[in-house]
A and B are shown apart, each in its own frame.
Chain A
Amino acid sequence: MTAEVGTVRTVRRRPDAQRAVGLGLGALVAVLTLLAPLVLDRSQLTVYILTGTAAMVTIGVSLLMGYAGQVSLGQAAYYAVGGYTAGLLAVHGTPPLLGLLAAPLVAGGLAGLVGIPILRLRGHYLAFATLAFQLILLAIVGQVDFLGGDIGLQGIPQLSLLGIQLMTAQAYAWVTWVGVAVVLLITRNIIASRPGRGLRALATSETAAESSGVPVTRYKIVVFALSAAFAGLAGGIYAFFIGYLAPGSFPVLLSFQFIVMAVVGGLGTLWGPVVGAVVITLIVQTLNDLGTRPGMPSYASGVFSYAVYAILLVVVLLFLPRGLLPAMADLVRRAFGRGRRAPAAAGTAVTVDDSTTRQPPDSP
């Protein structure tokens, strides 16, 4: 049951023309992303930055769930670890850049250690363990004085790069989205590599992958650590930008939010998580503005965002099970009359009910 949601199983060689279009599009997106901070105002920039950090975490979630078939319901834990690592180091006078570099390393290292026992678990056992890990971590952070306890860690200095202090939100926006680009690049290289193909085998069946020589345990741990490192980097940027951290900044709901973004965007795709993060953040932000208008009840913005996560998640899973990005790509491809539909994901185009394939093992 590990990898049924929209896992991509077929890698197609793209024709050169399509490749060129893809490259052009990518360059355009990159340029626009870099230019955007010049025209956004302060509060828009905040949203822009938080979208970027969410995208980084979500790329990791998507790699873990969509490619390696492992479910983590506690990814916000590593976001928190990264944040606290960077924040704590900076508060104690370490150069902020070092703190920012340490964030992904510590988060990834911790995940690697935790992963050794936890990744022996599968399916919903693993989901539970990752969720429980986050709850435990938050409880501990809330009790430890040098982390600020429940009150939080305050007075985190600004990030400085090469001796220049980043004072403006614009600068943070650039740092964040360069971070997103780096994370995307790493992910792309992994997916295209030989180990990446091993990962996909692993998502389908661990037993089969193992028997065809994929070092299953090692791969799972590495991917888990990598996804945690992405989250850690995002957390580090978040810590410097906001300047304040508390256990309450990293609720379980935040972990769910990353899953929603990954699923809505399209699991097992490179750009899907970015699309998911952008779409969800924009919608939630719009409704948030609506909810805080005068005349609205005080709970309106919270209610709106809960409802939006939930409804988007459910509707996408039921009606676009492969996610927004693959669905949009299909639409574009059909509009230009080029090519067929992308290969259907497992279980979507089969005329047979899935229960027939679920026959139990023969009884003794």
Chain B
Amino acid sequence: MSAFLSYLISGLAIGCTFALVASGFVAIHRVTRVVNFAQGTFPVVAGLTVSSMLGRGLPHGVAELIGIVLAGVIGLVVGVIAIGKRGTPTLASLVITLGLGILAYAFEIIVWGDQPVSYSMLRGAVDIGGARVAWQYFLVIGATLVTFAALGLFFTRTYLGKALSACASNPYAARLAGINPIRMGLLAFALGGLLGGLAGVLITPLQPVAFDSDVLLATSGFAAAIFGGLNSPYAALVGGLLLGVLEAFVAGYINASYQTEVAMVLIIVVMIYQASRRSTVSEEVS
């Protein structure tokens, strides 16, 4: 029982970070139709930055903020290159983000080297039903829930958020109303960067991060996002939590070296099941 509880909580926490990465995918895809393959770069840069900022003696809070903002700025830069040029086809933008993710490797290795880093945010643990659960897990879960609530408010209650949703919902009509889709797309990229950055800041204390951790982070985030067809942040939250818990149980009860793979097989099965129920026509139109 105590093992079950601790797997569950750690799975939920890791799942939360997947969900944050996933919501970045969703924010960008909804507005621009581009799948941002550089999405894994944002958590990596944020985690590495916070680690070196803390190493230089910056206090907690400031270091984390710098990491997240830097990730947001990088998100914006990725956006400018990927969609800033008018008339760049969607698939070209997608492959460009892939290239930028690789370019980031070069910078990361020069600045931080190729060794994994970690740091601690909240020390200590609490006893729940006989299981020792680190406070960090609760911090991750709490921060994620707050972020998703704020995202919900932003998209449904603010004028800017509605304009972003409008671009996602009907880009042609948005342009008619004078909403500049490229500017909105850039905003979405920056938002994707911030969300990815937050994920990185939260996960680095739990799982050390190196320059090439982006593949696994992005793959897991993408798997979570695809649960809602890359268009719903809440489905991405559910997807992320499911994936995290699933991985934790596989690791805990079966074999830790298969955790990611088992989860991915399941995701693919779900995707194929969904695809076989959708018609070709409806998918090509959307």
Contact = CB atoms under 8 A, between A and B. Distances in A.
A and B assemble together = yes
Interface of A: 1-5, 71, 117-118, 120-122, 124-125, 127-129, 131-133, 135-136, 139-140, 142-143, 205-207, 210, 252-253, 256, 259-260, 263, 299, 302-304, 306-307, 309-311, 313-314, 317-318, 321, 346-348, 350, 353-356, 358-361
Contact of B268 (A132, A139, A256): A132
B92 A118 contact: no
Interface string B250-281: 00000001101100110110011001100011
A206 B279 CA distance: 11
B241 to A, nearest CB: 19
B135 interface: no
Contact of A318 (B96, B114, B171, B257): B96
Contacts of B268: 118, 129, 132-133
Contacts, number: 158
A356 B265 CA distance: 38
Contacts of A321: 89, 92
Given A5-B95, A124-B94, 17 more contacts: A1-B90, A3-B91, A5-B89, A121-B271, A124-B35, A132-B264, A139-B257, A139-B261, A143-B258, A207-B280, A252-B215, A253-B102, A259-B95, A310-B101, A314-B81, A317-B92, A317-B99
B99 A360 contact: no
A360 B99 CA distance: 29
B171 A132 contact: no
B172 A358 contact: yes
A256 B98 contact: yes
B91 A207 contact: no
A120 B257 contact: no
Interface in B117-146: none
Interface of B: 33, 35, 81, 85-92, 94-96, 98-103, 105-106, 109-110, 113-114, 169-172, 175, 181, 215, 219, 222-223, 226, 230, 257-258, 260-261, 264-265, 267-268, 271-272, 275-276, 280-281, 283-286
A206 B280 contact: yes
The interface residues of chain A, by DSSP majority, are classed as helix
Contacts of A207: 280-281, 284
